[in-house]
Structure 1
Amino acid sequence: MKRNLFFLLTLLLFTLCIIVSIGNVVSFAGRYIYPLDDAYIHLSIAKNFALHHVWGITKYEFSSTTSSPFFTLLLAGFIKFFGNYEYWPIVLNLIAAFFLIVCVNNIFKTLSNRAYLLCLNLVIWCMPLFTMVLIGMEHVFHTLFLLLSLFYFKKYSEDHLSKNFALLLLFAVLSVGFRYESLFFIFFICAYLFFVEKKFQKSILLGVASLLPVIIYGIISIQNGSYFLPNSLILKGNTSDGGISGFVIRVLGNGYRGLSLLPLVVFLMIFIFKNKRSGLLDFLKSNNLQIVILLGFTLHLLFANFGWLVRYEAYLFVLLVYVLKDFIEEILNSGKQFLKFAFILLLALPVYLRTWTMFEKQTLASKNIFDQQIQMADFLKKYYNQSKVVANDIGAIAYFTDIRLLDTYGLGTIEIAKIRKNDHGEFNIENPKLRNFVYQYSKNNNYDIALVFDNWLHMPDNFQKTGEWTIKDNYICGGPKVSFYSIKPDEKNNLIKNLKEFRVSMPKDVEVKISDN
């Protein structure tokens, strides 16, 4: 009875946290604004696919801009049948969050009350689930389906029932479709089934089925002139291109940004060591889930990302709590008070870095997006709704307008992605090849204006700078300052006039500079 009451109170507190967080943003923006511009990228592609049958950041051409095809498809379905509503990501994430809470509640139900309370709270508040809902991205769905994949892998390894393998297969495909990082874990599950369990056919079937979302999306992308992998993975992923030193530096950066996971990773390694067996086969069987998660975590550390509102590694935190639930039970029930104290003390790191920091920063991030991306979108909607625009932060401006877009970062423009593919998210602002491409492309295709971060790429010399917007207390945007350029010589005076007129309606704490020269 007490446990059920606590579960209901936890749901109530979680709901209250969501309402308060949304209210904080509405208080300054008049509506809810996502704290990441990437949410609007999903919405833009979903809108164009649902309404114009074009899988692209704009309705004019294909672009492989999303790294979560299933989430974008899900949004497109709701837009198609229920209307173009910018808050579908929150609605869907709340539904997924409810099922995730129910799922972990059932998983933790065998624990003692103290362990149950701690594990449930860690998942909800240190993931943190409220942030993953409010950023409007795919991470809640990804976490839910990958957790269920691992849960049914464990059950199948214990009872070898066909229904549990079928559920493993289903959730593995879904988890990969929502984020490709799931393949890190599916790979080791397949290896375990093949080499340890000798389930050769099931191992191959699981591997092939899990790859289908990647293969199908990759074939469609190649047919449309893009890469096999989404542009975001090509441009942001950590590969060996660029040399061993660059690879190591990026891994160390990942480790630093993923510091909040360190206590749980250490606990997992201790737990595996404690469960050592005399024979290798017995060791692998008794620690199969722990080893799969540890090795999957390692691949994420090496080849994926950490950070940006702690979203990339949020699912890893949940998986670590899941696999450590029995270890947590053992520590809390231990008679060694020092051990319990040390354990709780170490948990202060994720509580501070993941829970407290996100309470503080996610509203600030929404304020940044409102002051910068939403203002750019409103400006373009009013004056340049169907114009040709050069930009390098593209979500909101693509979703709220009908512009034609040249993306100098490369997420929405494959030609630029091919130029920048070895940059790994770094910026060579004097890149002569890229500057020349932007110059030739904008000239040949009669582009009108540019709204860009100058610290990402210096614009060609023929672009005429006419103004700047600078936001305060930047936390999440690519830069505090956005520069406006006239590309057509005869557009400069008109752009200046529009900037002056729009300045009146902008947030008062955005610094506006306009050139009259």
Structure 2
Amino acid sequence: MTRLAFQDRPQVHPVAATGQGLAGASTFAALAGYLLLVGLSWRLTGKFEFPLDDVYIHMAMAEQIMAGGYGVNAGEFASASSSPLFSLLLLPFAGQPEQIFLPVFWNLLGLIGAAWLWGRVVGDALGRDWLGWTIALVGPVALNLSGLAFTGMEHTLHVWATMAVVRGIQLEARGDAGLWLLAPAVILGPILRFEGLAVSAAAMMFLMFQGRMRLVLVLGLATSVPLILYGMFLTSLGLSALPNSVLAKLGDQPWLRFYRIWAIPGLIGLAWSLVALIRKKRGSKEWGTYAVLAPALFAFSGHYLLGQFGWMNRYEIYALFFLLAMGVVGIGYLGASVRLRASLLLVLLFLGQRYWTDTMQRAVHSPRALSLQQAQMARFAKEYVQAPVAVNDLGYVVWRNPNYVLDLWGLASKEALMARKSDPAPHWAGPLAERTGVELAMIYDNWLPDAVGSDWVKLGDLVLDVPTGVIAQPRVAFYATSPGRVATLNAKLKAFVPTLPSGAHFEFAEGL
């Protein structure tokens, strides 16, 4: 069995004694960044709240799974979660207020695990001088790990799995046992996020370079089986093999965006690395560097070509972690020169400036906006309407709601997704609402301009008076789905509106 060997590189740092110290520093920095974001948002909001209501979709899914279903509404199957695994991790306390602490727990665990592994990778490759310590401290914060944990979603666990792949590759590359970490992470990553397939494939590419084809075949099978079984499970429920949430985002994916250009240098670097692997002497330092660089560029380019971006900068972070952490491994292979380490630090500082500027300008305001918009919509639906409602931004409204919630965007409704994607006729949401008994629709008008039913009557708009953060729109339009429901809903609104907290108000439609 052929392995790469780090023993060939100059041992300029007392590596073994420094890894855990740098790992602790990385973890401390990431936790400090997370606590800063939570503290700032808590001060603005007056309580703890997530910046995205997508978390509540996962918790609603867990609630229905515990009840023997699969979806967000009782008796209706739906694949509203884009993660096969994350909703299962939220099963304890499903349907209870305490469930809200589970996303916090899993994200803190993912943050600690990912940051610790970053520090271990840096410590083993770059050493303990001021550059090594600075890269260990700056890396997780600059790459938005604190911001990922702040969202409460599955992305932080995905980064942890990604860093476990990198650490496993680093150990294997120098001849140590790393499969105990590498193999589970290769399998787990795609179950957390489908994008994890890119990192898993990259890890198998590295193992191919080592000549370990039998292991590659075993890992490929072990990685594929859970995803195939999940797809079979969905189809057995009458759903698509891919979750609706994935299909909806794929259909809405803007392919011609500036950030796609970054895939070009990645692909060029990948091609260069593959050529170098052919030309360089196997086992040399240069060959080893390209053997870790090529898989990193493969995963990075794949995401920038096909992946998503935005919504609190959470989608691309795993690819950046993989690219830069593998870069750390490669720099260590070349001897960890000051020039290479300083260049890496500059890249991290550039990315950190970008991510933290956006986070401080927008993301810290999102929990307050969420508590004044989605939380108030949910309160009105559950405490006042107490009947089926329709929304286009699924989340808070469906969590712990015993009544039916129609998702007009289609994450939790195959019928709505198909209708929205099929160039529908005007007023297409009307028949859907009628069939499901929906009495009230709360939607962003500019998201679904042609969806409003022909006999719907606008009651008014819930309006934010504070910065929206990453919340999509400051105004939510309220509609009665038939003229006969206007009087009843208007009376309930008049009772509800005086209870709105400061920071939001309701503008009644003319004549009401």
Shorter-normalised TM-score: what interval?
Answer: 0.7 to 0.9
SS at match of 1:292: helix
User: 1:440-459 maps to which residues of 2 (within 5 A)?
Assistant: 440-458=431-449, 459=452
Answering whether residue 325 of structure 2 is matched by residue 322 of structure 1, we say yes
Q: Which residue of 2 aligns with 1:377?
A: 378
User: 1:491-510 maps to which residues of 2 (within 5 A)?
Assistant: 491-510=485-504
2:30 and 2:115 in contact (8 A); partners too: no
SS at match of 1:399: coil
User: 1:125-164 maps to which residues of 2 (within 5 A)?
Assistant: 125-156=141-172, 159=175, 164=178
Q: Which residue of 2 aligns with 1:299?
A: 302
2:22 and 2:120 in contact (8 A); partners too: no
- TM-score when scaled to structure 2? 0.84
Output the amino acid matched with 2:500.
M
Rounded Cα–Cα distance in structure 1 between residues aligned with 2:171 and 2:394: 44
Answering whether residue 414 of structure 2 is matched by residue 409 of structure 1, we say no
Output the amino acid matched with 2:319.
L
Q: Which residue of 1 aligns with 2:427?
A: 435
Q: Which residue of 2 aligns with 1:243?
A: none
Rounded Cα–Cα distance in structure 2 between residues aligned with 1:331 and 1:192: 20
Answering whether residue 87 of structure 2 is matched by residue 72 of structure 1, we say yes
Answering whether residue 312 of structure 2 is matched by residue 309 of structure 1, we say yes
Rounded Cα–Cα distance in structure 1 between residues aligned with 2:70 and 2:389: 19
Q: Which residue of 2 aligns with 1:389?
A: 389
Query: Given the superposition, is the C-alpha separation of residues 280 and 181 from structure 1 closer, same or farther in structure 2, using an over 3 Å criterion?
Result: farther
Answering whether residue 55 of structure 2 is matched by residue 60 of structure 1, we say no
SS at match of 2:355: helix
Which deviates more from structure 2 when the two are superposed, residues 224-233 or residues 356-365? Answer: 356-365
Rounded Cα–Cα distance in structure 1 between residues aligned with 2:329 and 2:160: 20
Query: Given the superposition, is the C-alpha separation of residues 252 and 16 from structure 1 closer, same or farther in structure 2, using an over 3 Å criterion?
Result: closer
Query: Given the superposition, is the C-alpha separation of residues 272 and 118 from structure 1 closer, same or farther in structure 2, using an over 3 Å criterion?
Result: farther
Q: Which residue of 2 aligns with 1:49?
A: 65
User: What runs of 5+ residues in structure 2 fail to find an aligned partner?
Assistant: 1-16
Q: Which residue of 2 aligns with 1:178?
A: 192
User: Of residues 198, 204, 207 in structure 1, which corresponds to 2:217?
Assistant: 204
Query: Given the superposition, is the C-alpha separation of residues 370 and 82 from structure 1 closer, same or farther in structure 2, using an over 3 Å criterion?
Result: closer
Answering whether residue 242 of structure 2 is matched by residue 229 of structure 1, we say yes
Output the amino acid matched with 2:304.
L
Output the amino acid matched with 1:466.
L
Output the amino acid matched with 1:45.
M
Rounded Cα–Cα distance in structure 2 between residues aligned with 1:473 and 1:507: 15
1:238 and 1:304 in contact (8 A); partners too: no
User: What runs of 5+ residues in structure 1 fail to find an aligned partner?
Assistant: 240-246, 423-430
Report how far residue 364 of structure 1 moved: 1.0
Output the amino acid matched with 2:417.
A
Rounded Cα–Cα distance in structure 2 between residues aligned with 1:43 and 1:81: 8
Output the amino acid matched with 1:508.
S
SS at match of 1:432: coil
User: Of residues 457, 461, 469 in structure 1, which corresponds to 2:454?
Assistant: 461
Query: Given the superposition, is the C-alpha separation of residues 214 and 340 from structure 1 closer, same or farther in structure 2, using an over 3 Å criterion?
Result: closer
Rounded Cα–Cα distance in structure 1 between residues aligned with 2:345 and 2:165: 29
User: Of residues 182, 201, 212 in structure 2, which corresponds to 1:168?
Assistant: 182
1:467 and 1:514 in contact (8 A); partners too: yes
Q: Which residue of 2 aligns with 1:399?
A: 399
2:142 and 2:349 in contact (8 A); partners too: no
User: 1:223-262 maps to which residues of 2 (within 5 A)?
Assistant: 223-237=236-250, 250-255=255-260
2:29 and 2:137 in contact (8 A); partners too: no
Q: Which residue of 1 aligns with 2:3?
A: none
Report how far residue 26 of structure 1 moved: 3.0
Report how far residue 291 of structure 1 moved: 0.7
Report how far residue 349 of structure 1 moved: 2.6
2:300 and 2:323 in contact (8 A); partners too: no
Q: Which residue of 1 aligns with 2:8?
A: none
Rounded Cα–Cα distance in structure 2 between residues aligned with 1:292 and 1:173: 17
Q: Which residue of 2 aligns with 1:363?
A: 364
Q: Which residue of 1 aligns with 2:11?
A: none
Rounded Cα–Cα distance in structure 2 between residues aligned with 1:190 and 1:378: 49
Give the percent of matched residue pairs that are identical in Structure 1 and Structure 2.
22
Query: Given the superposition, is the C-alpha separation of residues 217 and 493 from structure 1 closer, same or farther in structure 2, using an over 3 Å criterion?
Result: same
Per-residue deviation, residues 47-97 of structure 1 (Å, max 9, x unmatched): 2212x1222122332211111121111111x33699842121011211222
Q: Which residue of 2 aligns with 1:242?
A: none
Output the amino acid matched with 1:479.
Q
